[in-house]
Amino acid sequence: MKNIESLGDLRGKRVLVRSDFNVPLDGDRITDDGRIKAALPTLQHLVKAGAKVVVMAHLGRPKGQVNPEYSLAPVAKRLGELLGAPVSLAKDTVGEDAKRVVSELEDGQVALLENIRFDPRETSKDEAERQELASELAELADVYVSDGFGVVHRKQASVYDIAKKLPSAAGYLVEKEIKSLSRVTENPERPYTVVLGGSKVSDKLGVIANLLSKADRLLIGGGMAYTFLAAKGYTVGQSLLEEDQIEIVKGYLEKAAENGVELVLPIDILTADRFAADATTKVVAADAIPDDLMGLDIGPATRELFASKIATSKTVAWNGPMGVFEFDAFAGGTRAVAKALSEGDAFSVVGGGDSAAAVRLLGFDENTFSHISTGGGASLELLEGKTLPGIAVLED
């Protein structure tokens, strides 16, 4: 993979950077600016090198239409604060205003193009349409730096097609992500444990199937655990259940046994009488969930069990919260896993948008984890062993 240094002297050059600024918003307030901070090393380097920096990014799912609700204005403001210099936001992506803003850039200044997904060609399945947008983007710059790790698994104009139009390189974030994640996917130090949670099994089927031949231990919590418990023949009350996945999950239980993978399911559950922050809670055994209750977190015995499995591992990858951590009453399982990871000696990687947000929200020091990935889908696809188009296109 080519790095920024391979692009040579960048003074006075227009550098087009793809960043991942898809941050959670409450109105126009950014509730977690982790992704913006993660983009700083590359942007600060380019500023220092005297480049004219043009950043492109997306926010939310505007579905190819201009929609002020998804404007990058709050991001431009926050990015300016973090860089200590104003960032001008173009009113469009490749139109007149983008051209004007880019032409007015001085060496070491940064501009942001408006939400790239306002243009339907960005995510088009039609390669010719994507290439047309990529060509228009290429006219705004001399070189391209790919640093939006959260989107490198997407074959999109600003991620993939653009890299074929300009001299290209990976930014520091992409480099760091790939380096950390390959330590997990290629020859992990063993025991190698993967902790999976989150809402749906169906989101993570691919990764589970793949991990059954790679990991030594698979700890399953979160909403997906109930489909596993159902596959073992237990009833799960009102808990999240994907009935159409039960047969597939039964196959996973068999494959895990065949491969000698230790598949660890919750042994107790923190239930609630309704889906609410102030619900009445009760700890029950995992094989005795009452019909009228729903599991919203792993129970205390499971927290200890998972923590002990993590403590005795050399490599741990974690994706997906153990419970509905957004409600404090059901954040304990997620907190216990985060604590075990941050205190353990294992090489630890946290992936997944909600998992990374949970770690910060629960007040953990990010530096006590080996790596917190900024990409949910991208990190999962790497764990699955897939080749990511946005990375493959940067190979020399």
Q: In the complex with ligand ADP, which residue's Cβ is closer, 330 or 347?
A: 330
Query: Interface with ligand ADP includes 289 (CB under 6 A)?
Result: no
Query: Interface with ligand ADP includes 379 (CB under 6 A)?
Result: no
Rounded to a whole number of angstroms, the minimum distance from the CB of residue 62 to ligand ADP is 20
Is 377 an active-site residue?
Answer: yes
Q: In the complex with ligand ADP, which residue's Cβ is closer, 101 or 388?
A: 388
Nearest to 158 by CA among 77, 54, 65, 76: 54
- Residue 199 interacting entry, from ligand ADP, Mg ion, none, C-beta within 5 to 8 Å by type: ligand ADP
The total number of residues written for the chain in this structure: 396
User: To 10 degrees, what angle do helices 332-343 and 353-361 make?
Assistant: 80
Rounded to a whole number of angstroms, the minimum distance from the CB of residue 222 to ligand ADP is 4
Report how far apart, in Å, the C-alpha atoms of 354 and of each of 116, 220, 269, 373, 374 are. 23, 16, 21, 11, 10
Side-chain-facing half-sphere of 377: CA atoms under 13 Å: 12
Is 200 an active-site residue?
Answer: yes
Among positions 161, 354, 381, 384, the unique one binding ligand ADP when judged by CB under 6 A: 354
- Residue 299 interacting entry, from Mg ion, ligand ADP, none, C-beta within 5 to 8 Å by type: none
What is the contact mask toward ligand ADP in residues 205 to 224, using x (rule: CB under 6 A)? -----------------xx-
Q: In the complex with ligand ADP, which residue's Cβ is closer, 150 or 376?
A: 376
Of 64, 377, 385, 386, the catalytic one is 377
Give the whole-angstrom CA distance, residue 4 versus residue 189: 30
Query: Interface with ligand ADP includes 295 (CB under 6 A)?
Result: yes
Query: Interface with ligand ADP includes 74 (CB under 6 A)?
Result: no
Query: Interface with Mg ion includes 320 (CB under 5 A)?
Result: no
Report how far apart, in Å, the C-alpha atoms of 52 and of each of 55, 104, 147, 158, 255 are. 10, 10, 16, 18, 53
Give the whole-angstrom CA distance, residue 100 versus residue 88: 11
Of 14, 35, 130, 165, the catalytic one is 35
Query: Interface with Mg ion includes 203 (CB under 5 A)?
Result: no
Report how far apart, in Å, the C-alpha atoms of 294 and of each of 72, 74, 298 are. 38, 38, 11
Among positions 353, 358, 375, 382, the unique one binding Mg ion when judged by CB under 5 A: 353
Residue 197, C-beta contacts closer than 8 angstroms, at least 6 positions apart: 220, 221, 222, 223, 224, 225, 319, 320, 321, 322, 323, 334, 337, 355
Of 200, 255, 339, 360, the catalytic one is 200
Question: Given the rule CB under 6 A, which residues bind ligand ADP?
Answer: 197-199, 203, 222-223, 240, 295-296, 319-321, 323-324, 326, 352-355, 376
Active site residues: 35, 200, 353, 377
